[in-house]
Every structure is written in structure tokens, then in C-alpha cells.
Structure 1
Amino acid sequence: MRVVRILLVIGLIATGVKLVQVQAFEAPALSAKSQRQRSATVDVQAVRGSIVDRNGSPLAFSVEVRTLSYRPQAMRKQWDQAAAKHPGQFDNYEAHSAKLAQRMQDVLGVDAHQMLAKLRSAAKFVYLVNNIDPSKARTITDEFPEVSAEVRAVRDYPGHNLASNIVGVANWRMDDPDTRNHNLHGLSGLESSLDLMLAGTPGHQVVDTEEGDDGVVIPGTVRQTQAAVDGSDVVLTIDGDVQYYLQEHLAAFAKKAGAHSASAVIMDAHTGEVYALANDKSFDPNKPTYDNAAMANPAVSNPYEPGSVNKVVTALASIEYGITTPTAVHEVPGQIQVADRTVHDAWSHGLLQMTTTGIFAKSSNVGTLELAQRVGPDRFSDMLKRLGLGQRTGIGLPGESPGSVPPRSQWSGSTFGNLPIGQGLSMTVLQMASMYQTVANDGVRVPPRIISAEVRPDGSRVQMPRPQGIRVVKPQTAITVRNMLRAVTQGAPYPNSGTAPQAALPGYQVSGKTGTAQQINPVTHTYSNSNYWITFAGILPADSPRFVVGIVLDRPVYTSPDGHSAAPLFHDVASFLAQKYNIPLSKTETPVVTLQLPS
């Protein structure tokens, strides 16, 4: 008995020493270890802002979804151990995984065989399926708690290809090492360039889990430590109805004309706000192919030589500097020599007596160059700069090209035989329309814009600053040129018909200008006699401007009825705009003016 008592005392002393050691020395470390085992930081994703048109109609918004994941190794071990320990009460892992795969097929519509392959893999962790409706995901996780459901989001584009080249596309990204940035992020368009504004700022929570970071969250243990800040909504100047009309009709016209591509823009004549910006080719961001060419926006990224629409530069300069008047008569020969280049008109003729208005309405290259020579290269070069050519408009769309204008110091003798008739320089359809917006706005160029406002998460609306207008010419100069360009749409007996009577709209005065520019042959590096850019710029109505429309066709079948002019498309677009916005009829009819004196 004495020996037993001694052993008991020794045991009690050892236990006490261990207790002291644990409480006094190891308690903090064990507590920290326990906390690490049970606490986990969970990212709280911010909700990405929507993109809406000027009327509040959504062009892009986010939808919350779930991604289901699984831990095959751990689950196989647990189920096989349970089945071995309690035969007949628990399925083994083979049977259990088969039930889960079948249930996922029944509820989610996924392939059971594919799911089974993932469930029975040797991986520690697998994603089973993405973009699942939360209610359906809950059905699975309620029945099979070992399936984890991650909160994610997908971007929805209700108009499919509507304004897709403007809006772009965003998808769920996990390529950033910082998991807080695992969210929807833009790949192209405004989704990309405005990503910081749309994405918001993620937050995080601390939770307790059964098995650390990979375990199930213990109910009631969520602690909010930093709230997420949702992204802002972005309001565009685009009108969804107008955008849809322009996209559909531009694509149809380009196809009918056999054009390789086409772009067009509709702008507010006074504010520069873009109501529609379209290309004949677009894509559905709900089903993106991630093809850079498909997701591009040629309307702002692909400059072209404009042809005779650029004659408005000479028209503005010749009126602004008092070189001529609309009714002044000029002797226009059939050709003109500029340095080493001989320039002809589009039609063969001898010496003609043409009014200034007639030179531009009938698009005489020779008459335009005669006036440009009187303006002089320095003043002409200055007018190009004032009109914003060779400079990005700053519209805020990614990939915008500044176009190209040769520096005045690099002009050769023949350069001034090209530029006034729209060859030897390049511009985008947006820049082309901006020139005519200057004419429509009584000489003040307002840089185009497409972003109207930011609506912050608290509901406050912040209007984007309106671009400062730039005075290009005197108001009367712009009005005079605008009135001259009405004759382009004039249909009158020979020889007083303009180049685009098809653009005329009954009841409205319309100003416009046609253009045909030769393209460079990539083999000979000379101007082609078969490949052209066909352009048109128009103002509706001319007597009280509301809209400016710019159109470009790339290499249409020039000999076809629809391949040599974009005026018919302008007519259709102008008719749609007049009806949609109930634009008042012009108070007077467009006067018929003399373009060419009888020979």
C-alpha cells in the first residue's frame, strides 16, 4: 500500500506540473493555434456597377451566381471511414459520389458523367460547375453540405450585340494574386476603360470554420471587419433605340453595297453628345469569342482618307477669310496642275462657270483646289488644326486613333493638291462628324462625348464635365457654309443638281457632303482605281440643326447601285430621327440655287 501511495503522489505532482506548464507557458501559443485553426478571412466582393443608356435602360448589369466546389480527397476518406465503421448505415464514397453527380444533373442540368469524373479525381480541391442560380445551388448544398458554394457574379447584356463595341465585355477574373481582386473585370470597351469606377472596392469578413480556411463556416461567427463599396453605375449619352436602328440599318446597307466594313455616328449638333456609334459588325458579349478583331471599335480606331467630305475645310476657310461668296462665279477648267500632279474632276468637262456653292454641291476637285490656293497652305493647315484633325477627340473610348495629318513643315508641292480634296490625310468617322458638328453649331466645335454621368453607390449623380467648346470660325461663316451645303441634296434639272439628292428629306432642309476617296493599293503602293472609301456627312435640319450624321463605307462594290453613295442611308437615318424626336418641319423649303451657268 505504501508503494501505491507513493506512485499516486508522484502522478499528481506530474499532472500539476503539466497543468502549470500548459496554463502558464503554452496557453498563449495554444490559444493562437486554436484561433488560427478556426478563424478564416473571407473576401466580400463589391457589386459591379451597371452601364445604362441616356434613358436609364440597362446595357450591362451584374447577376449574382454560385460556383460549386468540392474536396475529393477529404470526402473520400470521410465517407469510406464512415462506411467501414458503420456498415449498412453509410454509403461508401463510390455510391455517395454517384448520388451527388446524379442529383446535380437533375437540378442543374449538368452532365452526371462529367461531374462524377471530377468528384472521383485524386485532387484535393476541384471546381464542379460555374454560374449557377443561387436557389439551385442551395438545393444541392442543403442536401450535400460538403459541397461548397462560392458567391460570384456574371455580367448580363440584355441587348446582346446592342452597343457591344462601345460597352465591351467583362468576365470573372482570378488571375490577380490578390484574392480581393477576384471579381468581374473588363476586357474591352468601356467595361475595360472604366473598370475602376465600375468595380468598386472589395471588403472582408472574419468567420469561424470547422476546419480552418477550407472548412464550413460555423453559424453566428461572422464578424464584419470591412464593408465592400459597390461600384458606380455609368450613364451613357447613347440612346438604345437609336443605337439599335443605326446598327441594324448600317449592317444591312453595308451588305447590300458589298462593303468590307462600315461605321457611322449620330451626334447632337450642339452638345457633341453621341446618340449612336455603330459598326456593321458587332458581337454578343453574353457569348464572347474573345476575338480582338470582333471586340474592336473601328468607328474610333480605324482612320480612313475622307475624300470630298474634307472639302468643308476649304469651304469654311474661303468664307471665313473673305476669299469668295456663295454666289460668286468661278471659271473651272477640266483639270488643274499642282506641282507635279494633275488633278481632274470626277466627270470630264471643258471650262465651266460655277458658283462657289456649285463647286461644293457638285464636288468639283478643280474648283476646290482653286479656292484652296487662294486660302493658302498656312491658313488651310491652321483650319485643319482648329477642326481637331490629327488629334484624338477625347471621347473616352479605348483605342481611339488621332488620325493623321502631315505636319506643315513636311508638305511637298503636291501635298496641297491632295489635302483639300480629302486625300493624303486620315480621320475616323467620329472626327469627320465633329467637323460638321462645328458647321451645325455656328462655328463652335464641341468635342464629342459618350459618358454622361456617374451614379455612385449612395445614389448621388455626378455629371461628367462637358467639354469646352472651341471657336473655329465666326457664326456667320458657319451659317453661310451650312446654307451652301444644302445644295448638295438639291435635285434640279441639269446642270443644277447636287451630288446627293437621295439624301433630301421632304419637309426638312438638309445640309450634307458626299465623299469618294481612293484607297492605296497594297501591292503597287499607289492609289487604286477600284477600291474606295465612300463617305457622307449630313446635318438635320439645316435651318435649325439638331443632329449630325457621319457614315463611311469601306470598299463597297462601286459599280453597284448602292456602292457609290451613302446618301440613301443618311436619308433613312434622318427620317427615323425626325419621327422619333418629333423634330419640327423646316419653316421654309430649301431654295433652289444656281450651281453652274449655262454654257
Structure 2
Amino acid sequence: MRGTATSSRATAGTDRRLPVAPAKRRATQSNQRSASRDVERNRRKVSAPSPEKRARQRGVASPLRRLRITLVAIAVVLLAIVGRVAYLQTKEADSLQSAGADQWTRSYSLPAQRGTMFDRHGNELAMSVPAASISINPKLLVDGAVVVQELDTLLDLSDEKVASLLSEVESKDRGFVYVARQVDANAGDFIRALGHAGVNVDDESRREMPGGDTGRSVLGRTNIDGIGIAGLEQQYNDVMTGTGGSMTREVDPKQQTIAGSESITQAPVAGNDLVLTIDRSIQFATEQVLLEQLERIEAKGGTVIALETKTGEILGLASVRRDDQTGEYGVTNGNFAAVDAYEPGSVAKVITIAGALDAGAVTPETAFTVPWRKKYADDILKDSHEHPDELLTVSDILTESSNIGTIMVQQELGRYEHYDYMTAFGLGSKTALDFPGESPGLLKDVDELWGSERVTVAYGQGMSSTSLQLVSAINVIANGGVYVAPKLVKATVGPDGQQTPMPASATHRVVSKQAAAETTAMMQRVVCEGTAKMAQVDNLPVAGKTGTAFKAADNGTYYNEDGDRIYYASFVGFFPADDPQITILVSVDEPPAGTRDRFGGTAAAPVFAALVPTLLHEWNIQPSPGSKGCPE
């Protein structure tokens, strides 16, 4: 038990040692000293290399050298970066700017304002007003069907259009689809403010006529892109079309425009304005009077031209047609006075007789024994009514509108000379207007006329002319024997407001002043005593001539499918007869056959008489002192 306790105490105490024998202790101390001396000797033999040597042994430079290498490497990297930046800012600058702009900016064309058309007094006849085009990108729309329904509510789209848009939204095949063009600008602003992603609103313009249909036949029209496709809009399209500009604006990730980011890069330049010879009040009157007469007699259509005698400036030009489907009459987009050619009939007798008077072949008192019918070549030609052979002067022949008598006058003149006068009066060629689609009419060369054609041209059959040609031809008599080309445009006005007058109408003498005066006196007899009594105007001397011609049908005859004659009735006159100021031509296309209204004196002359008071007022025409109308 004692031994156990001693062992426990020995292990429990860390400072307690077991007793060692003295001899053994000395041997141990000697060994320790010998080991210490060996360690010291070995330490003296070891020599550590220097840091530089250790660095060389390890393949690493000194800290200073490492620093230098690091600085050089940094410098090289910086130089490379600077070089790259310089390259990008010079050689690649444009492409990078363009790429950046493509991401966040959009370019838009700015349409130029199309020129306005004014009447001679500065009243607007055709002008462009702000509008908007609405389109969608189906690929960007959110709740596309809802957006389409909202647009339908705002724009009142057709059912077909809505169905088409919904189909586009569902398929998402295209990135651009028009919703509506030329909508009201305010509606466009409202839709733009809604901010729908994928709905685009672009500014454009819409052509409008402040006077409604007034002047439509002359002005023509533009297509939906503002390009002239008829009338003066087409003829002067290049003049009225300006130079477009461009604008950029920034967009957000949803492709919506960032407010205030718009920037005009090139300002548009407006087109030139046109100042026409048309008088808006006279134009309106010509259309209304013609409409009333055509509706009353139920003709197919008609034209009216009123021009200033001395200058050839057209004051009013109307073309009216009946819609075959609805039966309603309206002012047309087409200028039939320039594009339709027809046989002028008895109006052409003025040219034949004036030429014969000018050439000295006849005088107003020259008399002929005139039968009511006579054979020429293989045809028997007739007057409008049966009568016994009678002695008629040249003045009587024109007053009574005798076909056979006019042929006799032509034969006195000679058919070659007659042909020269017809061309000098402007028949057979376009007028100086060169209106889009204008017809030159039909006048065969004198050597190409055969059989009865050689004489029927004396009274206006076997040849054709437009209303523009015919009114200009008869205006020769009103203008003292001088032809003056018709004119529609007085001036152009540039974007800076500078007005440039158009050249005066070309003129040339056709017959002598005496021949014109003698013909005028005969034409006064036509109004007072002959076929144009319905053209009389109280207390105003009027000179004129009627024409009733057969109109060729598509079947090559002068009869329609019902076997009825087809007529073309006309009247041309000028006033005051003793000092002509205005010349007017009225043409009625297909007045009803078999009625009293088929003649020039009944279908066309009343339009002239109804229109003259307006012209007297608007043009401030005062008859010469002492002058009066037809004697009672």
C-alpha cells in the first residue's frame, strides 16, 4: 500500500524528479557539453547566401528591379489603352457614333410644306393642313388586342381594318403596319400622349380645299402621299413640292420618345405657292349655274369656261358630270374642258366666215342661193330644217346657221385657205396650257380629207376640238382678230414670299380688225334674231353663236344602243359686244334626244345668260354709254 501511494505522488507532481546516481549524472553532463560543441562547430561551417544571390538562384529580380518591371508593364498597358482610345476616337469615331445613335436615337424625315394654290385675289383654293399617320409594331405591342380596340374607338376604323389589325397583332410577323393615314392632327397628339409601346404617330399633311369642290376640275388632286396626280396639282407638282428635312429624337428601351430630345438636323424648305387666274366667286358661280341646268334637262354633263378677252386669263372653268350609279351631279376631278374633244358643230361656222371675210372672198352682204339640201361627193348634206331655195347673205347664213350656205362660203374661200385659217385659230393642236391629259383635238391634214369631209369641216363636222380650243378660237373675234393663248397661272410665290409673275400669253393675229368687227356684228344678230335668243341679257349687247353637233358613239355611229341620236350642244359668246371684256363657252354633253333641250340655243345659251350678271358684278363691267341689248 505504501508503494502505491509513493508512485501516485511521483506522477502527480511535475517538478519532482527521480534520484540519479552521481557517476551517471557526470557522464550525462559530459555528453551534453560534447553535443553543444558539435552544434557550434557545424554552425560555423554554414554560410547563408545574400538576398540578391537567393533571388538570382530563384530566378527573381531584386525588389527594385521588380518594381521597375511592374512600372514598365503598367506603362505599356496604359499606352495600349491610350492608343486604342485614340484610334476609336479618330478612325472609328463615325462608326461608333452611328452605332450608339442607332441604339438610342431614331431619325425621322420632315415633310416639306406643299405650296398653296390661291385665286387671283389671294383666296386659298387648295392648301396643306397638319395631319398624322398612325401605325403599329405588332412585335412591341403589349395587350395588342386591347390597343387595337382603343385605336378603333378613337379613329372609327372599319370592321375590315380592325380584323386585319387583330390578325397582324396575333401573328406578329411584321414590324410595321399602318392603322390610318392623314387623321386629324389633334387625334394624333392624343394617341401619342397615351404612350403605348409599339404605337407610332408621325406627322404628315393633308390636302384640303377650303371652298369644298370649288375649282376641283382645275386644281386636280394629290394622292395620299401628297403627290399631284391630276390637274394643276400634277402639272405643277415639282414647283409646289418642297425639299424635305430630317429630325432625330432619343428613345427609351421601350422605343418611346424621350420628351425634349427632338433635334432638327435639316430644316425642310416649303414648296412654291401658285397664284391662279381663277376668280373664286366666278368659279363657284360657273359650277352652280351649270349644275342647275344639267339637273333640269337631265344631260350627261357639261363644261363652262369664262376667260378675260384681252389677256386670255381663265376666270372660271367648270366640269360637271352625272354619276351613272347614283344619278347625282357633281364637280369632277377631271378637267373635261381640256381632255375631251368633240365635234363643235355650228360654232365652227364663225371661223369659216371670219376667214372668208379676212381673205376678201366675201363680204357680209355677199348673197348665195341656198337650197336646204345638196349632194357633195357621195353624201347628201342638209340644213337643220327644210326650206325652199332662198337668197341668203353671208350675214343671214351665220344668223340662220345654214350648213349649205356655209359650205358655199368655204368654197369661195378655198379649202386649202380654209384649213390655214382653222389652224391659225388654234384648232388641231394643244393650247399653251398643256394641261395634263389635254387633247389636241382632231383636224386631219387638208390632203387627208376625202369626199364630203372636205366640206363638212366648214360647219364643224368631220373634225373635233376641246372646249379650251374652241373658246380660244372664238375669242379671236372678241379680241379684234388676235389670238391670245389661254392662261391659268398668274405667278409663283417662293418660300421667302418673293412673287414671280408668269409670262404674258403668246399672241398672233389671225384676221383683220375689220373682219373681226364684221363677224361680231353678225354674231349679235345670232343672239337677237337667230338661234341664240336665250342668251340675251337685258340692256347688254351680246355676240354669240350656237352649236348643235352629233356626238360619235362607241359603236362608230351617231346613235346610241336605243337608236337615238347623241347630241353635243354648245354656245359661245362675249360681252359687251361693242367692247368685249369676257368670253364664255358653255358645252352640254348628251342633252336628252327628242326634246327641245337638245340644241345649243336651248341647252347651253341659258347658262350663259344666267352667268353674265355675276361676271358683270364681280368684274365691275360697265357697258359703254348708250349701248343696249337687242332692239325690241
**TM-score, normalization: structure 1?**
0.82
Shift of 1:187: 1.8
1:555 counterpart (586, 590, 594): 590
Pair 132,439 (structure 1): closer, same or farther in 2 beyond 3 Å: same
Q: 2:233 aligns with which of 191, 196, 203?
A: 191
Q: Could you tell me which of 373, 376, 381 is aligned with 1:338?
A: 376
One-letter amino acid of the counterpart of residue 175, structure 2: K
2: CA distance, partners of 1:234 / 1:504: 36
- Equivalence for 1:290: none
Per-residue CA deviation, residues 417-460 of structure 1 (Å, 9 max, x unaligned), is: 21101100100111111111100000111010111110111001
Q: Distance in 2 between matches of 1:513 and 1:48?
A: 42
User: Per the alignment, do residues 263 and 132 of structure 1 end up closer, same or farther by CA in structure 2, a change over 3 Å counting?
Assistant: closer
Contact residue 545 and residue 573 of structure 2 kept, 8 A: yes
Shift of 1:582: 3.5
Q: Please say if 1:155 is aligned against 2:185.
A: no
CA distance in structure 2 between the partners assigned to 1:221 and 1:350 by the alignment: 87
In the TM superposition, residue 215 of structure 1 has moved relative to its aligned partner by 6.6
Instruction: Within 5 Å, give how 1:167-316 maps onto structure 2.
Output: 167-173=219-225, 184-205=226-247, 216=257, 219=260, 222=263, 224=265, 226-281=266-321, 295-316=333-354
Equivalents in 1 of 2:485, 2:466: separation in Å? 14
2:127 aligned with 1:66, yes or no?
no
Aligned counterpart, 1:422: 460
Cα distance between partner residues in 2 of 1:438 and 1:186: 33
Q: Work out which of the residue numbers 376, 380, 383 in structure 1 matches 2:421.
A: 383
Match of 2:88 in 1: 27
Mapped contact 2:539–2:629 kept (Cα < 8 A): no
Q: Secondary structure at the match of 1:243?
A: helix
Q: Aligned letter for 2:628?
A: E
Give the number of the structure with larger relative contact order, counting CA–CA contacts within 8 Å between residues 6 or more apart. Answer: 1
Counterpart contact for 2:355–2:421, Cα < 8 Å = yes
List runs of 5+ in structure 1 lacking aligned partners. 77-92, 174-183, 284-292, 491-496, 594-599
* Aligned residue in 2 for 1:596: none
CA distance in 2, matches of 1:473, 1:358: 21
Q: How far 1:61 sits from its partner (Å)?
A: 0.7
Aligned CA-pair RMSD: 3.4
* Residue number in structure 1 paired with 2:447: 409
Aligned to 1:42: 108
String of CA shifts for 1:127-175, please: whole Å, max 9, x gaps.
Answer: 44433444443344344174443221111122222221211111343xx
Aligned-partner residue type, residue 216 of structure 2: S
SS of alignment partner, residue 281 of structure 1: strand
The answer to whether the 8 A contact 1:239-1:275 is kept is: yes
The residue correspondences of 1:137-152 to structure 2 (distance < 5 A) are 137-144=188-195, 146=197, 147-152=199-204
Q: Cα offset for 1:324?
A: 2.5
Whether the 8 Å contact between 1:256 and 1:562 is mirrored in structure 2 is no
Is 1:500 the counterpart of 2:565? The answer is no
Residues 21-30 or 365-374, more deviating: 21-30
Q: How many residues of Structure 1 are paired with residues of Structure 2 in the alignment?
A: 544
Deviations 1:527-568 (A, max 9, x none): 787222111111111111111111222221133232223222
Q: Secondary structure in 1 aligned to 2:598?
A: coil
- Give 3-state SS (helix, strand or coil) of 1:46's partner: coil
The match for 1:88 is none
Contact 1:487–1:592 (Cα < 8 Å) also in 2: no
1:165 and 2:203 equivalent? no
Tell me the CA shift for residue 347 of structure 1: 1.4
Say if 1:572 and 1:583 are closer, same or farther in 2 by CA, change over 3 A: same
Partners of 1:568 and 1:466 in 2: how far apart? 32
Give the CA deviation at 1:260.
2.1
Q: 1:530 matched to which residue of 2?
A: 565
Structure 1 residue 407, shift from structure 2 partner: 0.2
**1:379-404 Cα distance to aligned partner (Å, 9 max, x none):** 10110111010010021421110101
Residue 99 of structure 1, CA deviation: 6.9
Q: Residue 120 and residue 267 in structure 1: after superposition, are their counterparts in 2 closer, same or farther (change >3 A)?
A: same
Displacement after TM superposition at 1:16 (Å): 7.9
CA 1:154 to 1:121, structure 2 compared with 1: closer, same or farther past 3 Å? farther
Q: Is the 2:312–2:487 Cα contact (8 Å) retained in structure 1?
A: yes
1: distance between equivalents of 2:553 and 2:125? 40
Cα pair distance change 1:116/1:536, threshold 3 Å: same
Report which of the two structures shows the higher radius of gyration computed on alpha carbons: 2
Work out the CA distance in 1 between the residues paired with 2:365 and 2:559: 34
Pair 111,370 (structure 1): closer, same or farther in 2 beyond 3 Å = closer
Please give the alpha-carbon distance, in whole angstroms, between the structure 2 residues aligned to 1:443 and 1:361: 20
- Report if aligned partners of 1:530, 1:558 keep a CA contact under 8 Å in 2: yes
SS of the equivalent of 1:585 reads coil
Q: Would you say 1:124 and 2:175 are equivalent positions?
A: yes
Report the Cα distance in structure 1 between the residues aligned to 2:70 and 2:178, rounded to whole angstroms: 53
AA at the equivalent of 2:440: P
Give the Cα–Cα distance (whole angstroms) in 2 for the partners of residues 271 and 414 of structure 1. Answer: 37
**Which amino acid in structure 2 is aligned with residue 124 of structure 1?**
G
Provide the residue aligned with 2:391 in structure 1: 353
Letter in 1 for 2:336: P
Residue type of the alignment partner of 1:51: M
Q: What is the Cα deviation at residue 368 of structure 1?
A: 1.0
Is the Cα–Cα contact under 8 Å of residues 38 and 208 in structure 1 kept in the other structure? no
Percent of matched pairs sharing the same residue: 30
**Distance of 1:64 and 1:584 partners within structure 2:** 44
- 1:21 Cα shift? 4.7
Cα-to-partner distance string for 1:22-67 (whole Å, 9 max, x where unaligned): 5423634775454123335432321111111112211111111222
CA distance in 1, matches of 2:384, 2:457: 17
Partner of 1:589: 628
| Residue identity in the other structure for 2:277 | T
Partner SS state of residue 259, structure 1: coil
Distance across 1 between alignment mates of 2:470 and 2:628: 27
Residues 292-342 of structure 1 show CA distances to partners (whole Å, capped at 9, x for unaligned) of x96322110010001100001121112112222223433222223333332
Deviation of the 1:240 alpha carbon: 1.5
1:476 to 499, 514, 535: 514
1:569 maps to 607
In structure 2, C-alpha distance between the alignment counterparts of 1:569 and 1:148, rounded to whole Å: 52
Whether contact under 8 Å (2:133, 2:183) holds in the other structure is yes
**Matched letter for residue 319 of structure 2:** N
Question: Which residue in 1 is equivalent to 2:576?
Answer: 541
Against the structure 1 CA distance between its residues 402 and 330, is the aligned structure 2 distance closer, same or farther, given a 3 Å change threshold? Answer: same
Tell me whether 584-593 or 566-575 shows the greater mean CA deviation.
Answer: 584-593
Q: CA deviation at 1:235?
A: 1.1
Find the counterpart in structure 1 of residue 123 from structure 2. Answer: 57
Residue in 1 that maps onto 2:42: none
Residue aligned with 1:530, SS: coil
Question: Is the CA contact (8 Å cut-off) linking 2:558 and 2:566 kept in structure 1?
Answer: no
Counterpart in the other structure of 1:176: none
* Partners of 1:110 and 1:591 in 2: CA distance: 61
User: Which deviates further from its counterpart, 500-509 or 13-22?
Assistant: 13-22
8 Å contact kept, 1:161–1:282: no
